[in-house]
Amino acid sequence: MRKITIAIDGFSSTGKSTLAKELAKHLGYAYVDTGAMYRAVALFAMQKGYISNPFFDVQSLISSLPFIKLVFKFNSDLGFAEMYLNDVNVEKEIRTIEVSNYVSKVAEIPDVRSKLVEQQQQMGKNKGIVMDGRDIGTVVFPDAELKIFMTASANTRAQRRYDELIQKGDQVTFDEVLKNVEERDYIDTHREDSPLVKADNAIEIDNSHISKKEQFEMVLKLIKID
């Protein structure tokens, strides 16, 4: 059976990763969460003291890029791959609101994007992959057979993210999360290098008022495999 590339782009907290994981599992495809890669670089910058509000030593981060090793390792107990930064599992650390506050700033640096896009393209050279992020259908895999662009209202996305963080035990407020969502939207859509835009041939899905199951079934019908 012919394998294809599925590119899922969209705004933060639209459930891109959840959908991508479900599709990959259903199809027997590899799954790559590119957002985790950028989050890991942001975490590295935080650990090294390269970034803190409003300070950002961009040149030091760029100089350190050759020393940043990012690897996905499959966790059979969880059923998906976790992010390792320089051989350390950072899956939990990269999902915090602190990392969320800096990830878009890190992701807009051309040198960072160039390094990660190259890795992402290498991961998908044999197809049979589901990848989600901000520029998958426009930059990483412009020839992907299926492109999805996910969106939802800022309030809806902030509520989802807030509920998720509270469930994990993080001490955050809804207003704090909403501000983060809106700031990330602005940075993601206004950066000069690979801004978040809907690819010309992408299918847009607004999931503000549909369930995860409805969304999954909707996308599954769009997949054409000979």
Q: What is the DSSP string of 87-105?
A: TEE-TTGGGSHHHHHHHHH
Check: CB of residue 172 under 8 Å from CB of residue 165.
yes
Tell me how far apart the alpha carbons of residues 152 and 154 are, in angstroms, rounded to a whole number.
6
Please give the pLDDT value at position 175.
97
Please give the pLDDT value at position 80.
81
Provide the token pair at 217: 């079934």
Please tell me the pTM assigned to this model: 0.86
Please give the pLDDT value at position 226.
58
- Residue by residue, pLDDT tens for the chain (226 residues) are 789 999 999 999 999 999 999 999 999 899 999 999 999 999 999 999 999 989 999 999 999 999 999 999 888 888 788 999 999 999 999 999 999 999 999 999 999 999 999 999 999 999 999 999 999 999 999 999 999 999 999 999 999 999 999 999 999 999 999 999 999 999 999 999 999 999 999 999 999 999 999 999 999 999 977 5
Give the ranges where 82-220 is alpha helix by DSSP (H).
Answer: 97-107, 110-123, 154-167, 174-190, 212-220
Please give the pLDDT value at position 129.
95
Please give the pLDDT value at position 1.
72
Please give the pLDDT value at position 79.
78
- Counting Cα atoms < 13 Å in the Cβ hemisphere of 129 gives 19
